Structure 1
Amino acid sequence: MKNKIIEGFSRLGKIDKIKWLVNNYTDNSEEVQNILTQYWNEDAALQKLHEEFSENTISNFYMPYGIAPNFLINNEVFAIPMAIEESSVVAAASKSAKFWLDKGGFKTSILGASKLGHVHFIFKGNPEKLKSWFALYLQEELYKQTKDITRNMVLRGGGINAIELIDKTSELECYYQIQASFDTRDSMGANFINSCLEQFSQTLKYEIQKAESFTEDEKNSMQIIMSILSNYTPDCLARAEISCKIEDLIDESGISPQEFAWKFKQAVEIAEIEPYRATTHNKGIMNGVDSVVIATGNDFRAVEACVHTYASRSGKYRSLTHCEIDNGIFKFWLDLPLSLGVVGGLTKLHPLVIASLQILNKPSAEKLMQIVAVAGLAQNFAALRSLVTTGIQKGHMKMHLLNILNQHAATEEEKNYFVNFFKDKTVSHHVVISELEKLRNK
């Protein structure tokens, strides 16, 4: 127990961190130490750069970085970079891109670009006095006191869109918010938003003490709890959609276009009313979304939190995608709240992020939002297409076959044998192991 507690771990050198860790937390310290050092980058400067992205860094954790080509988006062709370890995601996205390539591709638009932040505070005085003072005086003062912070953002076409006082006393006693919406242009904008909000809190605290309309008790009752952006951005929204005549929905499984369209729509509608299905349905969307968000150096945790809150906005967790059949036209679309950036953060530091943005032709933040939404829609189309035709396991297990073979140190000759063996069969772990033993016994 004693050796597992350490003071000053962050001050140790990288090698000393590893030695202490493997000696106290592993059974085979030499093996684990070799693994950790094996994943260092040979370029010392590049390794140092990676280490400075985070704290207490001792190695690198690699993920596959793939490309899904042939995405026709608003009549422009893209090859989309995706960083993900899950089998079949990149293949499925690529298959969707190819399916829609000769049907007009994907159409996208921006439905909004506002991000939100709040000053959360308690006020035990007269609510009407607070609301009147805010409208007649404080609101304008908040704009004035943040001019130095917002100047450069305003020059780029962004800034503070609106500032409101929100009364939340019906939900929590004496609780109010100053809510502000922001346009942060091509940056995700977290630092900008939080700087504005902290200035708001200082201004609120200072100005209420000067205000003659409040009693001393009311002034002293005001307590600022915190000032922070929200990762829920329902008004920062991208739409991606695909549509075609029903007769063009020709699937290799042999199902008729009419049956395909009907079953597909039913599958979406089930996810719109059944949370158990909606959770898996939306997880598949996020396979596509997160992989592009990670590849472009954005915060996938914030995106995930926002998206799932948005899916619950009606009070029930629902599908993020929607389907419509009208006058012989099949339409499938996704509205996705996304707070993304193409400047700041890792965008000028991480070499693969730089490469990703160049591959995407250096998009604006709004264009990246649309590309990410397309990746999510494509992934969902691929999953539903499999589910309503051949079933999901056939494709999944074929992609998983190499993982099974690699776990058992299969040679290239053995891998080629199994790819051919399972051409007309469904892959199962038991059959792979059984057949591998037979093969090796021969």
Structure 2
Amino acid sequence: MPVATRDRPTNRQGLDMAPTSRIPGLRDLSVADRRKAVADAAGLDPAAISAFDPAHGLTSELADHMIENVAGILGLPIGVATNFVVNGSDVLVPMAIEEASVVAAASNAAKVARVHGGFTTSSTPPIMQAQVQIIGISDPEAGRVRLLEARDELIELANAQDPKLVEFGGGVRDISVRLVPSRAGTYVVAHLQVDVRDAMGANAVNTMAEAVASRAAEIAGGRSLLRILTNKADMRLARARAVFDAETLGGPEVVDNIIHAAALAESDPYRAATHNKGIMNGITAVVLATGNDTRAVEAGAHSHAISPDGRYTSLSRFEKDADGNVAGVLELPMPVGLVGGATKVHPAAQAAIKLLGVTTASELAEIITAVGLAQNFAAVRALATEGIQRGHMSLHARNIASSVGATPDEVPVVAARMVADKKVRVDYAEQILAEVRAGR
């Protein structure tokens, strides 16, 4: 199923043009011209993404309705990753992040993946779970079975809390019950498995859990305590896979180095932590840009990285395929939504959704997962070849140059000198800037 669905733009002759994620020379344009180029490539009126301009984005008045005690607004850069093809459709990806090199790295990895058709994605139904903890049960084994016997009654009670969700095809699909031993006793924990459709789902499942808690406790023979969703969203998975061309990468030795680097992350939790952080660089940036809950996604991802034997391991897998290319796969929970929360309130988040062209939460989840795989591959490739610092430091140097007061005309000069001399430091930037100004 195509991921991007939007009206097709037309050229000057009025002929249909497919949206494209290839925008050569984008980095050489001004910020305003980049917005126009991105909108044109996506087949959008530039006004659709005008909220990316701080002058037209989130206001203090709107922010005051989003959280408590608002005192201001923190801005973050929104970059657009190019070159992505997801399920056969070109996609331009908005990414909100403060770290240099992330957007460029994702774009570059996507360009390599284009050689073999880009990213193929899939996902499970949008099932979120809420837990109801029941304590003080004298016969927990029997209490568990009593709750399972009352399955239909509890599902009906839960679904009555959100008839609109049920009307749209969602609602509780099943109930499971677990016994959880602890130092304070054995708890009976009931799980409501809820299809939340295009929502992230926290509010819906929490409301349902609170509604059934008293009745569930009565049936089980105890007292209800916690009733809240779990962010271990292992029933709501998104998957992405891609083939990264060996010749484009530089040949068999580079492929082998990438496989070895990825294998270390699978086996060593110290490497896995940084490896997975690279995945989340891409994922969190898109989740944030679209107004979704970054903490929920991160919690679900890292809990998913615990293997059945209790080891923390890599979320992704890289292998050599029969043709000698790198085949990459990423699967993880992706609880994101298009309705409710900041996604429907924040102007820039709304603009990001328009740019992506997605119409369902599943489409959004799949694109985000593809970006995570691209970001991960870019980092592993850099580590296995030139090292991570070369590309990262060239962009970091620009930030340092700006921080010491270099003007837009001076920044490239100061940054280039720091990189050439391999001294990307604030004190050296100050020295170079003084020399530049003294030489005028």
Give the alignment's TM-score, normalised by structure 1: 0.81
Q: Does residue 317 in structure 1 map to residue 306 in structure 2? A: no
> Residues 70-109 of structure 1: matches in 2 within 5 Å?
70-109=83-122
Corresponding residue number in structure 2 for 1:123 = 136
CA contact (8 A) 1:87 1:400 kept: yes
**Letter of the structure 1 residue corresponding to residue 424 of structure 2:** S
CA contact (8 A) 1:145 1:203 kept: no
How many angstroms apart in 1 are the aligned matches of 2:215 and 2:142?
18
Q: Deviation per CA, 1:16-53, whole angstroms, max 9, x where unpaired?
A: xxxxxxxxxxxxxxxxxxxxxxxxx8789932111211
**1:123: Cα distance to partner?**
3.3
CA contact (8 A) 1:245 1:328 kept: no
How many angstroms apart in 2 are the aligned matches of 1:160 and 1:232?
17
CA contact (8 A) 1:112 1:238 kept: no
Q: Deviation per CA, 1:259-301, whole angstroms, max 9, x where unpaired?
A: 0110000000001111111111111111100010011110001
Corresponding residue number in structure 1 for 2:40 = none
Q: Does residue 441 in structure 1 map to residue 438 in structure 2? A: yes
- Matched residues, number: 383
CA contact (8 A) 1:194 1:229 kept: yes
How many angstroms apart in 2 are the aligned matches of 1:232 and 1:54?
25
CA contact (8 A) 2:147 2:219 kept: no
**Identity over aligned pairs, percent:** 36
Corresponding residue number in structure 1 for 2:187 = 175
Q: Deviation per CA, 1:66-125, whole angstroms, max 9, x where unpaired?
A: 111221111100110011111111111111122222321111111453211110011332
Gaps of 5+ in 2: 1-53
How many angstroms apart in 2 are the aligned matches of 1:295 and 1:423?
30
Q: In structure 2, the residue corresponding to 1:149 is in which secondary structure?
A: coil
Which residue of 264, 274, 279 maps to 1:280?
274
C-alpha distance 124-432 of structure 1, shift in aligned 2 (>3 A): same
How many angstroms apart in 1 are the aligned matches of 2:245 and 2:57?
56
How many angstroms apart in 1 are the aligned matches of 2:270 and 2:68?
38
How many angstroms apart in 2 are the aligned matches of 1:241 and 1:348?
30
**1:165: Cα distance to partner?**
2.0
Q: Does residue 268 in structure 1 map to residue 262 in structure 2? A: yes
C-alpha distance 293-43 of structure 1, shift in aligned 2 (>3 A): closer
**1:427: Cα distance to partner?**
5.1
Q: In structure 2, the residue corresponding to 1:168 is in which secondary structure?
A: strand
Q: In structure 2, the residue corresponding to 1:187 is in which secondary structure?
A: coil
How many angstroms apart in 2 are the aligned matches of 1:420 and 1:165?
61
C-alpha distance 435-365 of structure 1, shift in aligned 2 (>3 A): same
**1:424: Cα distance to partner?**
5.7
> Residues 8-407 of structure 1: matches in 2 within 5 Å?
46-136=59-149, 138-169=150-181, 173-207=185-219, 219=221, 222-244=222-244, 246=246, 248=247, 250-251=248-249, 256-314=250-308, 315-329=310-324, 330-407=326-403
C-alpha distance 78-122 of structure 1, shift in aligned 2 (>3 A): same
C-alpha distance 244-284 of structure 1, shift in aligned 2 (>3 A): closer
**Letter of the structure 1 residue corresponding to residue 313 of structure 2:** R
C-alpha distance 349-178 of structure 1, shift in aligned 2 (>3 A): same
C-alpha distance 135-411 of structure 1, shift in aligned 2 (>3 A): closer
How many angstroms apart in 2 are the aligned matches of 1:194 and 1:296?
23
Of residues 231-240 and 323-332 in structure 1, the stretch that sits farther from structure 2 once superposed is 323-332
C-alpha distance 233-259 of structure 1, shift in aligned 2 (>3 A): same
CA contact (8 A) 1:241 1:333 kept: yes
**1:345: Cα distance to partner?**
1.0
Q: Deviation per CA, 1:178-227, whole angstroms, max 9, x where unpaired?
A: 1121110100111110111111112224556xxxxxxxxxx5xx121111
How many angstroms apart in 2 are the aligned matches of 1:426 and 1:435?
13
**Letter of the structure 1 residue corresponding to residue 100 of structure 2:** S
**Letter of the structure 2 residue corresponding to residue 190 of structure 1:** A
Corresponding residue number in structure 1 for 2:405 = 409
Question: CA RMSD, aligned part only?
Answer: 2.3
